[in-house]
Structure 1
């Protein structure tokens, strides 16, 4: 009996150890970053049990908050707090809400972009806050990057990338949602001497600045890529797609963007997968959707294919398995074969911002329609449409999904929909 009892105790202890390990792993794997276009900045949200079709009147609207000010920047959600930028009376503010839509705090971040001439028709906040653990980082359209405590909204530090780093203002303001890793905040001031920079994420001090390509910035938010021997950042400038070394800002491989017009509006964030870079531009004389190959050192970028007919300004695109998906002018959603860039299927939906979750696409159209689209056996199937009625101004924001809730920003309104089964 003693032996059996001893074995039982050992088994119990073993089970306890296993449970503790599982709990520890689960806790360790808890998402600690929330940012532009999802966990990997590729428009893909790791959600499950999303509705297969929209109800006739749309999914359940849990709450609406009207009063976040002008802007197009999407929200970010982490640790039960929703963050979003907005412009009120020419000033930039970062708002924080609980999951029931109650305002927790509101913190100023200097002047916000209001524009002149043509750009005055597109005023307001542009960027999405980047949240890392207990700190949230916000960029105004005038180039003020500020770090706040997530719990209180107290400002920890701020850097004006125009005044402090020699940045250059552009016609439509700064729209970059800053990339952040364990130690640094990476930004693109666009100046001649300090073209790109890394800031200490805890105090805002400059870690390095680089001339990079000495090109003016566009409206792109960058991505990280871990190569065998270095970590790099990939982004667009006005005339180039290029990579820099994250450790020192050294300019690496680049690819010239042809046919840019107006202000070099390369807004879409590139996507990297298995040695290849994908991007979709909007310039009429440019190359549209492009696939590039990146070598293992990040020093050479070569063109694989392009499709001039696939153009998208700022609605983003998604790569899923062997296809690239994006909306184009004329209200079409297109699927492209990533091997050669040819169109494999199309469906009529309003041109807009595209994300992906649980084998489904959600497209928030510029006309206010929110479409749910399944893609099976290389065919699109639209399984529901509803219209965003609250809010003001253009329907330019990108939808966000967190824990089965879809957040949509329309101008001064933030809406939360339950889209989980």
Structure 2
């Protein structure tokens, strides 16, 4: 990958986010629920038709933000200490690179280096924000990839007014920035405040949540309407908490996270669900209108590592460590069914048009499952191909599948594949 900015001719226009676009991590509502309809209900042998594949994504596990005819992701240009993380823009019709922008220095770790964060596109489509593994935060213009502003989450000189006081987590900063109107939120962690809020246009800090001083882990912030008032909810290794729009702590609950807390919280009508792997299990809390917290349940039915969980109707679907893909009641935490007879199902889960799109992290198999509480019903399976030769031996196919505008996007390191999943 070249370190120069741009590769093909760019028209200096941007496209506002519309219904059906996928502008950030886990989609517009950060829940991995696509509103797509008219999709295939079963797949032929060999899977749906592939439209293209590209090797221009760089190394890493970053997901996709898709707005208009552009796909935004991240990748590094190598595995050496001198390598860099890049924000990358591709054409969704061809997979060809439109532009790239250096974000920060590459971070190596035992499970494979490269960025894990997904870029976030603003509602007007004019800006995109990306987070590098070392904690560099960059805002760029979507039209041409030119840099608007940048900051760094990692601890700098304590006398520096721009110091956010963060420390890089073991596997790097992995969260995806939240854009809420003209604000950008992310999680430096540390004694200066767990969450920071910046002005999207200028890059000036608005606030940092000094009442909460937890270290950053790997989950991403969600924004919710909590009984008529905006709240930002985040999860760390030991705390689940809500902040108001001024960064003031509204409530908190203990969560027994262990080695790595990764999945994004799920909110519905005052209830907040979280889960993590390494035996941490899952928890549901009820937060009242006046921010009183009641634990509804805490159990080990769902122990989701990092493939994510989706809430469809009254049921949760996701992979539980050492069990398999399960269906779980949201309000009680009871397990409804599991596919534990099927090996190798650990991985990511997304939802669209009544179906679960599951991607096995070990084999790269993608399989289609009905999202119904009546039992596990698979409707097709194929193996992602080609697969990378550059993956760390300990690494996996960790990028979450994305369904957008009748297409399925999958990634294995530098390779992105695009499939047509529309009904004909």
Shift of 1:33: 6.7
1:365 corresponds, among 340, 360, 363, to: 360
Unaligned runs of 5+ in 2: 1-15, 157-162
Q: Quick one: distance in 2 between partners of 1:166 and 1:374?
A: 45
Tell me which of 251, 254, 270 is aligned to 2:252: 254
Measure the CA separation in 1 of the matches of 2:171 and 2:383: 28
Contact (CA 8 Å) 1:373, 1:380: kept in 2 or not? Answer: yes
Conserved in 2, the CA contact under 8 Å of 1:374 and 1:382? Answer: yes
* Of 51, 74, 79, the match for 2:40: 51
TM-score (norm 1): 0.87
Counterpart of 2:376 in 1: which secondary structure? strand
- Alpha-carbon offset, residue 377 of structure 1: 5.9
Q: What's 2:89 paired with?
A: 96
- Alignment partners' CA distance in 1, 2:133 and 2:378: 35
Q: 1:23-42 counterparts in 2 under 5 A?
A: 30=19, 34-42=23-31
Aligned match for 2:289, one of 296, 309, 333: 296
Match of 1:411 in 2: 413
1-structure distance, mates of 2:360, 2:111: 19
Structure 1 residues 91 and 377: CA distance shift in structure 2, 3 A: closer
Q: Are the aligned partners of 1:75 and 1:409 in contact in 2 as well (CA < 8 Å)?
A: no
For residue 349 of structure 2, the aligned residue among 348, 354, 377 is 354
TM-fit CA distance, 1:143: 0.6
Which of 273, 278, 300 is the aligned partner of 2:273?
Answer: 278
Aligned equivalents of 2:99 and 2:413: distance in 1?
A: 19
| 4+ residue runs over 3 A deviation | 27-33
Whole-angstrom distance in 1 between the partners of 2:372 and 2:320: 21
Q: Distance in 1 between matches of 2:45 and 2:323?
A: 22
After superposition, what is the alpha-carbon deviation per residue over 1:83-132, rounded to whole angstroms, capped at 9, x for unaligned? Answer: 11001132011111112212111111121222xxxx33321111000011
Per-residue CA deviation, residues 124-178 of structure 1 (Å, 9 max, x unaligned), is 1110000111111100011111011111011111111113312112211101101
Rounded to whole Å, the distance in 2 between the matches of 1:219 and 1:375 is: 27
When normalised by structure 2's length, the TM-score is 0.87
Q: In the alignment, which residue of structure 1 is the partner of 2:10?
A: none
Deviates most, 329-338 or 140-149: 329-338
- The answer (yes or no) to whether the contact 2:118–2:176 under 8 Å persists in 1 is yes
1:68 CA displacement: 1.9
Q: Distance in 2 between matches of 1:31 and 1:58?
A: 23
Q: Secondary structure at the match of 2:371?
A: strand
Q: Which residue of 1 aligns with 2:11?
A: none
1:366 Cα offset (Å): 0.9
Query: Secondary structure, in 3 states, of the residue corresponding to 1:234?
Result: strand
Q: Distance in 2 between matches of 1:292 and 1:30?
A: 31
Residues 1:104 and 1:29: Cα distance change in structure 2 (over 3 Å): closer
**Greater helix fraction, Structure 1 or Structure 2:** 1
Superposed, 1:13-24 pairs within 5 Å as none
SS in 2 for 1:146: strand
Aligned residue for 2:110, secondary structure, equals helix
Counterparts of 2:373 and 2:298 in 1: how far apart (Å)?
A: 24
Q: Check conservation: 1:193, 1:214, Cα contact below 8 A.
A: yes
